[in-house]
Structure 1
């Protein structure tokens, strides 16, 4: 891999995050790391108009930095490592850090009412809830309001529990609210990039809260309100504060709310129709509305430095931004287990909590994101993503630019998984059998083996991985009497059985959900593949409950699978799921040689070992990759047929 050196403007910087180091010295397999380049290049060659920049750092050193495709597809301008992107909601983490800098300095109290700093938000009313269901009554005109039980605090803004929401159609994603309140927010407090933050916040003060402060997590405009809090407390405009207090000390030389004329050639174009004037994407001229929730532009190298500061406990290259204990607080789950969640970005169903501005991985059994428990991450609506794993000291950053929000997850899954799949693990001595090998007929091993949701032995997940996705329930939220279905997977087992969006699951099997923690309910939804699950459902406008039953299924897009077959008298292994794993690539059958009874190995590459597991009757039922402390276990899901020799 050729080393890439960035010549960045500004003061002298350490070289560790500028020049790509030897991958092997950082614990990566160079061959498997190269899969990342191949994966993104393949999608660029298919005509995907989104170019990409991907960076990986480990232990404070740059392991990978690669631009792919075009910064402007129509003009065929190549992507470059320092191309400038609209980072959307990754602005929220920058705003959170800026907020906590003032908390560290004693100028801002975390649990103080927001109205202490912004009097225009004093005595906000809250939409009344239905006593029977606990849901807000949003269909009554005029709205039925009541006083807030307590004032929303700075902490509430940081953790999305303020009661504020995003307006529709500004944030037009089907997983977020689209009630009359959300429409009202868009109408009475619109985002206008030609106006300052102050009148926007004043408009917010005329609106009701949808939830009582502290009672419901809902993604919201709270980070934009924080931008105004920072202005009032610091005496600077928000953009000036970020530039002088955060971007300059961290040498984030290309970050801000707009792109100056001399850098416009590096601004990535949005495929298709370009952003209209006054939109979030109109960053080619100076701004007056400094959106702390989604208005910042940056580069992969800049954001890598921001993440490294957090991984270092608040310091980078001698610049102390936050106290170490403050970073720990921000990156620790702050949501209680019984918190109601309106939306599908956090909660027990996703093994994800929320700290003070960050999504936190809390449970690997349900999380769709690899990494150690305590890893933190987020993404932006324009197609940007980052993740920080404190245990592996690993930072992942990917940026692309596109407007089709539904397509982002496809690419986010790649940057979440491919780097972990490239990590090497400590080798465990495994001597060959000293005596004669009583090799079994190769046909006994033929079949498809499922290894769960992770391609990395450093992120081992149970075979019942990806939580409720085995049932095809893409998004559910906990309510007082059960689990509300937000979205079933089109064509998935639940949808085929008749489950609809809006259904309330009140029982799993013969046991009701009411009274259980959400995590306990989600664990009962998950289960082995091919085992039937029965759900009791209450459907709107139907008096009698329904009972649906269907078998759980593996989800190929999330699982790692190996196909074992016989070819030319040898056992060959090929990755057939979404992801390659260890020495086994997609589309490339790899022969393995006999090592001992029921164990084989790859004679080249990283010498991956595969040992087959038998039941008490002697029948092959699974396989183990690299047996030992870092092994990955897979179950035989489908017995195959040997190919002719």
Structure 2
């Protein structure tokens, strides 16, 4: 009996300790101890609510969200905002269930890497080793006669087989039927004229390979009759690759894909609400579709037959947070190992060869400051990127606005759950990645070690010199080094809407307000030279570097306009761009200097419309009585004119340049 009692005591202790450990991701901890300002985290809910108020459900938006933030393995923030139904009758819950669409892809990628860890799946083996029906796929070929401009289409043999690694990094040549969704009223010929080889997307849509009544095996068999859009390994283009990967998992494991995920991912990670459909007893937590009816293929209220590893899962913010924490921990959570650390490192390291071309979308490539690993987009360049975060942060998003990111440097995870119609203004407003800016902006700055200096007296003339608007670029935190919007960074209005092709840079959708569009650049144009340098054979990153340059400088282009045969010369003047920037506006008020946020995002404790007094400690240094003990030092140029300021000089400093001197 003593042994039984002792064993019972040990089991109870283990259960209690395991439960306490798991609760670190279940119950929000103290924000300050985790390096956050609670006051600044409190900005998150009003930010979402303002957008729900601005866009009614009729605009394709469910007026609610769930946001989860974890740092150092502990939950820092979990909040349900608004409602989970379009009628605004059911309050959103922290465990409300969302269709996460393409956030299914990282889960499928993890499933495949589990089998790689076990030696059952070879990353560099041909996919046909596991799915022989795909062994004879050919590659779509396009030939254009330079003399006549006539384009012919045909088929070619693949230079090498597509591999499992190609499926994970979207270099297989398998694509999505995008054009029939985006341009249902347009014909193949017109689509071909605009997008060249993208006419094949129409074929993928017309073939009808994706049907709810099919199984993954049926789906793969349907794909076998289609050509690949690209030679395997040569082009990164988003597509059916991860759904095919799900079928590979089935064949290698001997289990249906849903059973494999349940036993090897969801159960070990205690992801209790994640799967391919929502059972009846949980339907009261399912968030509405932003449309009156969910497309039948994505009706998640009934058991699925087609287990889409590319977009079929439903989940909750707490569940997906646990999945992300496992990755941040190097493959382990709560003492349970799902992946080896080596597998996680391979997944979150650039997997694209330097000569690979990036085709379609704006989430991956030099224009976005990102690359792609084995299942994730990875941040590579803070200058090019439009979101904050450390180099090496990895992330992905879902079709209806769900989104997550993991920042290994900060040991930070963010999960956003929303449902908004793709392409709608409401979705654009919510997927402007505001959550990244708000979370990084809430990180506290370590207090200075030195004792704050005593207040000093500064002349009215000097105070007047400091009045003006100061621009930090896109940076909201000292851990982020996005480019400074100081007039040195020019903008053409095409950078986010390009794709690299063999002959040059294809323009998909120039910004109508950009300098390139004003100079005559239109959708479908092909830029073949920049400043007398041919673009043929160059990587997108190299071309993007040539597009960028100081504001108010001229770039020369050779451009083939859509529908024309020959190239013409075009000169475009780069414009200064200060959109979505972080700014402070300083003015003298009742004999003292005050500051308030003036850009798209607040910074530290500074708020829009709220004047914060600055206390002088010397002729050019000031402090703020806030949680960060913020210090401000002004910078003058060689002529003695104020040219900028530095927040918290030292390891955590943030620099800004004057963009509008004097009262504003």
TM-score for both structures, normalised by structure 2: 0.89
Residue 374 of structure 2 is matched in structure 1 by: 356
Residue 105 of structure 2 is matched in structure 1 by: 92
- 2:350 pairs with 1:333: yes
Residue 159 of structure 1 is matched in structure 2 by: 169
**Correspondence list, 1:141-540, <5 A:** 143-168=153-178, 172=182, 179-277=198-296, 279-280=297-298, 282-343=299-360, 344-407=362-425, 408-412=427-431, 413-429=433-449, 437-439=457-459, 440-463=461-484, 470-473=491-494, 474-514=496-536, 516-540=538-562
Q: Extract unaligned runs of 5+ from structure 1.
A: 1-10
Q: Note if contact 1:26-1:63 (Cα within 8 Å) is conserved in structure 2.
A: yes
Residue 26 of structure 2 is matched in structure 1 by: 18
Following TM superposition, by how much is the alpha carbon of 1:177 offset from its aligned partner in structure 2, in angstroms? Answer: 9.0
Following TM superposition, by how much is the alpha carbon of 1:563 offset from its aligned partner in structure 2, in angstroms? Answer: 1.6
Range 112-121 or range 42-51, more displaced: 42-51
SS in 1 for 2:178: coil
Q: Note if contact 2:401-2:417 (Cα within 8 Å) is conserved in structure 1.
A: yes
SS in 2 for 1:489: coil
SS in 2 for 1:458: coil
Q: 2-side partners of 1:81 and 1:465: how far apart?
A: 41
Following TM superposition, by how much is the alpha carbon of 1:172 offset from its aligned partner in structure 2, in angstroms? Answer: 3.8
- 2:35 pairs with 1:27: yes
**Paired residue for 1:43, among 30, 39, 51?**
51
Distance change (3 Å), C-alpha of 1:629 and 1:171: farther
Distance change (3 Å), C-alpha of 1:334 and 1:359: same
Distance change (3 Å), C-alpha of 1:491 and 1:614: same
Which structure has more helix as a fraction of its residues?
2
**Correspondence list, 1:555-566, <5 A:** 555-557=578-580, 559-566=581-588
Residue 600 of structure 2 is matched in structure 1 by: 578
Equivalent residues, number: 624
Q: 1-side partners of 2:599 and 2:224: how far apart?
A: 51
Q: Note if contact 2:455-2:615 (Cα within 8 Å) is conserved in structure 1.
A: no
Q: Note if contact 2:120-2:252 (Cα within 8 Å) is conserved in structure 1.
A: yes
Q: Note if contact 2:243-2:308 (Cα within 8 Å) is conserved in structure 1.
A: yes
Range 475-484 or range 115-124, more displaced: 475-484
Q: 1-side partners of 2:493 and 2:170: how far apart?
A: 27
Distance change (3 Å), C-alpha of 1:508 and 1:597: farther
Q: Extract unaligned runs of 5+ from structure 2.
A: 1-17, 184-190
SS in 1 for 2:367: helix
Following TM superposition, by how much is the alpha carbon of 1:556 offset from its aligned partner in structure 2, in angstroms? Answer: 1.8
Range 411-420 or range 243-252, more displaced: 411-420
Range 410-419 or range 544-553, more displaced: 544-553
Q: 2-side partners of 1:310 and 1:253: how far apart?
A: 18
Q: 2-side partners of 1:202 and 1:431: how far apart?
A: 71
Distance change (3 Å), C-alpha of 1:448 and 1:438: closer
Following TM superposition, by how much is the alpha carbon of 1:113 offset from its aligned partner in structure 2, in angstroms? Answer: 0.7
Q: 2-side partners of 1:125 and 1:515: how far apart?
A: 24
Following TM superposition, by how much is the alpha carbon of 1:483 offset from its aligned partner in structure 2, in angstroms? Answer: 2.4
**Correspondence list, 1:601-640, <5 A:** 601-640=623-662
Q: 2-side partners of 1:165 and 1:59: how far apart?
A: 38
Q: 2-side partners of 1:427 and 1:612: how far apart?
A: 19
Q: Note if contact 2:549-2:574 (Cα within 8 Å) is conserved in structure 1.
A: no
Q: Deviations over 1:520-562 (max 9, x none)?
A: 33223223344444444332305241312223222322x1112
Residue 550 of structure 1 is matched in structure 2 by: 573
Q: 2-side partners of 1:183 and 1:84: how far apart?
A: 33
Following TM superposition, by how much is the alpha carbon of 1:469 offset from its aligned partner in structure 2, in angstroms? Answer: 8.0
Q: Note if contact 1:216-1:340 (Cα within 8 Å) is conserved in structure 2.
A: yes
- 2:106 pairs with 1:105: no
Range 349-358 or range 527-536, more displaced: 527-536
Distance change (3 Å), C-alpha of 1:226 and 1:177: farther
Following TM superposition, by how much is the alpha carbon of 1:335 offset from its aligned partner in structure 2, in angstroms? Answer: 0.8
SS in 2 for 1:583: coil
SS in 2 for 1:398: strand
Following TM superposition, by how much is the alpha carbon of 1:148 offset from its aligned partner in structure 2, in angstroms? Answer: 0.8
Q: 2-side partners of 1:465 and 1:570: how far apart?
A: 26
Q: Note if contact 1:377-1:387 (Cα within 8 Å) is conserved in structure 2.
A: yes
Following TM superposition, by how much is the alpha carbon of 1:353 offset from its aligned partner in structure 2, in angstroms? Answer: 0.6
Following TM superposition, by how much is the alpha carbon of 1:236 offset from its aligned partner in structure 2, in angstroms? Answer: 1.1
Q: Note if contact 1:614-1:621 (Cα within 8 Å) is conserved in structure 2.
A: yes
Q: Note if contact 2:370-2:378 (Cα within 8 Å) is conserved in structure 1.
A: yes
Q: Note if contact 1:349-1:468 (Cα within 8 Å) is conserved in structure 2.
A: no
Following TM superposition, by how much is the alpha carbon of 1:92 offset from its aligned partner in structure 2, in angstroms? Answer: 0.4
Q: 2-side partners of 1:125 and 1:585: how far apart?
A: 58
Following TM superposition, by how much is the alpha carbon of 1:588 offset from its aligned partner in structure 2, in angstroms? Answer: 1.7
Q: 1-side partners of 2:28 and 2:551: how far apart?
A: 42
